[in-house]
Structure 1
Amino acid sequence: MIDLESAASPRDDDRDPLLTGDDVPTPEPVPSVLVVEDDEGDWVLVAEHLEDAGLEAHLTRARTLDEAVGMLDVDCVLLDLGLPDATGLPALGRLLEAGAPAVVVLTGLADTRTGLAAVAAGAQDYLVKGDVDGERLGRSVRYAIQRRRLEVADRELYRSRVREQETTRLEQALLPRPAVRDASVELRVGYRAGRDGLLGGDFYDAVERPDGSVLVMVGDVCGHGPDEAALGATLRTAWRTLVIAGTPTGDVLGLLERVLEAERARTEVFTTVAMVEVAPDRRSADLYLAGHPVPFLLGPPTTLVPADRRGRALGIPVAGGWQPLHLALGDAWRLLLHTDGLMEATLADSTDRLGKPGLRDVIDAALAAEQADPTATNLVDVVIERVRALHGGPLVDDAAVVLIGSRA
């Protein structure tokens, strides 16, 4: 039965009496078909053909191509190539450019070459009015809709694979293999993408210099999305290049800011950075903060490193630079640097944030678990996963963590 006014729906008396409740199969959605036809007789004939074919469909009609362009939210279009405002293949081209779904050309032109050209241009099928019957028309509409759905599914699968490949490339740029060779240095890194699974602008790196000093950093580009991830990858690469090139540590952040200003898409984009230079004897370090959360000095008890020398974030147009805070660490110590995705995690079923005290408690609990069985846990992974558990699932924001320490 062809419904010319509204979508058809299954009747209760059509159901299998042996199927009840959850056993009743979900009916296939009724397809919607737009018939672009100015001739009254042909319009009626199309409806009769589809009814004869047993195809339930919601039919709508457009008499001109201009009218049809605004009615393309359908599953299939039956297009006549002889319309008052368009004729021939240009009519098909315009309809496809406007975003038409599956298109079956239904015309009085019995021309094989035109049919082949129509299919090559993007039509699903080409039927001649004088040669078509209900069975053939119904089959053509069904097949056209299914082929179109498969094309859309294939296209989405391809796009998904491309996005996955892009994410992998960005991940390799944002989250490199630390270049530290000294076995006396403990170095652990961790990263979790935000809730959508896409990389954001968090990044980290670690490099050991020829003089034995080790530089580590974490950074966070404000905002979320592919632009921020690409900028984070650029800044991470620039940072490693500056360090490997022997740039004095006190000059690194200033030069990194110049890279940021040259590469950012908008002038309001800024980046926070925490950078630590560990001395060759591993007993002290200099901490540079550019608007970034202060690291934790692991205990027990775990404490926050003083924020006395915190400078402005990179890209903020205010006065002030970045002065190091000297840390006397001793023989054995561990520092944990992180981005704000951990502290800003909300506790499950509430709007309360974990904050610095909550994150410190998580770290101490992870340290206790590590002490109980040092071989069973990776402290960085445990911290991230405990925060995720408190949040009740994947974090909204990205989270990057770097742990550096001396095993002496």
Structure 2
Amino acid sequence: MPVSAPQAGVAAQSADAPARQAAQGPGSSLTLLVIEDDPAGALSVPRMLDAYGRPVRVRTARNLTEAARLLTDDVHCILLDLALPCEARGDTDEASPEGFPAELPDAAPPGAIPGIGGVPGSAAAAPGGTGGTGATSGAVRGVSGLSGVSGVSGAAAAAGGSGAPGASAYGAPAVPGAGPAPDSDELQILRRVLRMAPRHAVLALTDGSDAERAAEAVRVGAQDYLFRDELDGRLLMRAIRYAVERKRADLAQRQLTETRLRAQENARLERGLLPRPLLEGSDLRFAARYRPGRSRALLGGDFYDTVRTPDGVVHAMIGDVCGHGPDEAALGVELRIAWRALTFAGLCGDVLLSTLQKVLENERDSEEIFATLCTVDIAADGRSAGVCLAGHPSPLFADDGAGAAPRLLPEDESGPALGLLPDARWSRRQVALGRSWSLMMYTDGLIEGRVHEGRVDEGGTEESRADGGRTEGSRTGAGAGDGRTPGRERLGQQGMLDIVARRMAEGAQGERLLDETMDEVRRLNGGELTDDVAVLLLGRGR
């Protein structure tokens, strides 16, 4: 039936302008969809103005088939007459040519309030808060004022499936002890509207003598209810704003909860993927530090591992997949697990690296993806090691027994990174370690940080450059000595070597040495490093 529009309640709109502005933006006027078929013509929706003086648009549907057609993205709220005659409902529960499907495609993105730019708004009007309809003179009752329903959220639609009969606001069974509500079958129309419009606010309209059914409507999923004989412009406008903001708050809260749960699940997954060294029976010291470059991530494209095989040999590995995203992190985990399995199978050196390259070639998303790698196999007596380099920076070695300054192991026998050359080969260099030593393996994130000229070191003396006045030729990395970034040169391997030497001279070793080294690199960089960083330290003696 047509909806009349008397002037009642227009003057009351100005007092609630802030709440109206929270419920709608300046670029859109509020739209109300009324679903009713009152043959007596008793239902009259008053004329209402939005916060900018524009008339609230009212659409009327006589059954659910018409409602499905009129329910567009610019509809903010649905006013549903619970007394809608059975013949006006469009169809039975089963879909028919005269009705609408049980589930309609969602036009708006998840979490969006239809008609408000598709962007979920602020949860300013939480249930029971200021501006809720519970503040009116009793004609419009918020959920917090319902006896026996306190604390029940009205966002059954936000749960994405509250249309199931007997479901509560979040798809759980109805309130324990409440028992079946009278005329529960009459609420089937509400359940179907909630399935049809899971992201729209819904107001239930009923007789003043049927308060129990109104309360049940809120438990089923409506944001609020109104009594037909107490309807006026002021109360209806406040109820609409309350319902829209409550729905917005419920959707925002649901999104936050889902995001939090997803983040916790990802964190547990990433922690499970981090390596656990297997060094039982070895007298070697072990320490490691890991920091992904991605914000709020626990795992990056860098990877490392250390295991001891039954023959007493300790195998250590550190690598770096090019890139910083989750795909690179996943590939790094695959390579690490493959390395551990191949090592326990007895492979090492060129055979192991060739097999890892096959794994990389089959698992990478693009042929442009490659990975650098450094492997060290320490003999059972701890006095010698075999080192393989696949495009990776050479480890830092310190002969603690001789008291010599730390140095970089030779890189002249380094092979290409994994994934670059199909038929590549990698040589294995034997290195004498001695009785007491320290070996530090690292990824390029540690040496590619920037340094300032004229920085003051911790001792209070001003350095002409971070590497203590060395020539530009001793630096590594892009931008070194080319004049492109004056005062912002790369730290390089030599700069990192100087930091470690200074810390070791001060007595730092193990985890303290790694912490102080990374702190100094960050300080010289002027903040956090942008690349993934992994550092592994093995030692013997002392």
* Superposition TM-score, scaled by structure 1 size: 0.75
Residue 90 of structure 1: how far off its partner (Å): 6.7
Residue 36 of structure 1: how far off its partner (Å): 4.6
Q: How does 1:253-332 map to 2 (within 5 A)?
A: 253-298=353-398, 300-317=404-421, 319-332=423-436
1:188 aligns with 2:308: no
Bigger Cα displacement from structure 2, 254-263 vs 390-399:
390-399
Partners of 1:291 and 1:312 within 8 A in 2: yes
Residue 80 of structure 1: how far off its partner (Å): 8.5
Aligned to 1:360: 497
Q: How does 1:171-250 map to 2 (within 5 A)?
A: 171-173=271-273, 175-198=274-297, 199-250=299-350
SS for the counterpart of 1:386 is helix
Partners of 1:115 and 1:126 within 8 A in 2: no
Distance of 2:30 and 2:301 partners within structure 1: 49
Aligned to 1:116: 191
Q: How does 1:71-110 map to 2 (within 5 A)?
A: 77-78=76-77, 93-94=104-105, 96-97=107-108, 101-102=112-113
Distance of 1:277 and 1:329 partners within structure 2: 12
Aligned to 1:407: 541
Aligned to 1:31: 24
**Aligned partner letter, 2:295:** D
Distance 1:60 1:323, change over 3 A: farther
Unpaired stretches in structure 2, ≥5 consecutive residues: 1-8, 11-15, 35-43, 60-66, 81-87, 89-97, 116-156, 158-185, 206-225, 454-486
Residue 306 of structure 1: how far off its partner (Å): 0.7
Distance of 1:255 and 1:338 partners within structure 2: 23
Distance of 2:432 and 2:439 partners within structure 1: 12
* Superposition TM-score, scaled by structure 2 size: 0.58
Residue 335 of structure 1: how far off its partner (Å): 1.1
Residue 235 of structure 1: how far off its partner (Å): 1.0
Q: 1:25-58: CA deviations, max 9, x gaps? A: xx9856336545799xxxxx9894356xxx6798
Bigger Cα displacement from structure 2, 251-260 vs 316-325:
316-325
**Aligned partner letter, 1:407:** G
Partners of 1:290 and 1:311 within 8 A in 2: yes
**Aligned partner letter, 2:437:** W
Distance of 1:228 and 1:60 partners within structure 2: 52
Indicate the percent of aligned positions where both proteins have the same amino acid: 32
Q: 1:267-306: CA deviations, max 9, x gaps? A: 2211111000111221111110111111111365221111
Partners of 1:204 and 1:218 within 8 A in 2: yes
Aligned to 1:108: none
- Ranked by relative contact order (alpha carbons within 8 Å, sequence separation 6 or more), the top structure is 1
1:140 aligns with 2:240: yes
Distance 1:344 1:98, change over 3 A: closer
Partners of 1:347 and 1:390 within 8 A in 2: yes
**Aligned partner letter, 1:273:** L
Distance of 2:55 and 2:68 partners within structure 1: 16
Residue 207 of structure 1: how far off its partner (Å): 0.9
SS for the counterpart of 1:147 is helix
Tell me the matched-pair count: 362
Distance of 1:9 and 1:50 partners within structure 2: 10
Distance of 2:71 and 2:236 partners within structure 1: 24
Residue 407 of structure 1: how far off its partner (Å): 1.4
Distance 1:334 1:348, change over 3 A: same
Partners of 1:34 and 1:77 within 8 A in 2: no
Aligned to 1:370: 507
**Aligned partner letter, 1:334:** S
Distance 1:152 1:211, change over 3 A: same
Instruction: Report the structure number with the largest CA radius of gyration.
Output: 2
Partners of 1:191 and 1:400 within 8 A in 2: yes
Residue 103 of structure 1: how far off its partner (Å): 5.6
**Aligned partner letter, 2:517:** V
Distance 1:295 1:144, change over 3 A: same
Partners of 1:342 and 1:387 within 8 A in 2: yes
Q: 1:361-404: CA deviations, max 9, x gaps? A: 22123213435xx69x6222222222222223322111111111
Partners of 1:89 and 1:118 within 8 A in 2: no
**Aligned partner letter, 2:496:** L
Distance of 2:321 and 2:195 partners within structure 1: 47
Unpaired stretches in structure 1, ≥5 consecutive residues: 3-7, 11-26, 40-44, 106-110
SS for the counterpart of 2:327 is helix
Distance of 1:259 and 1:278 partners within structure 2: 25
Q: CA RMSD in A?
A: 4.0
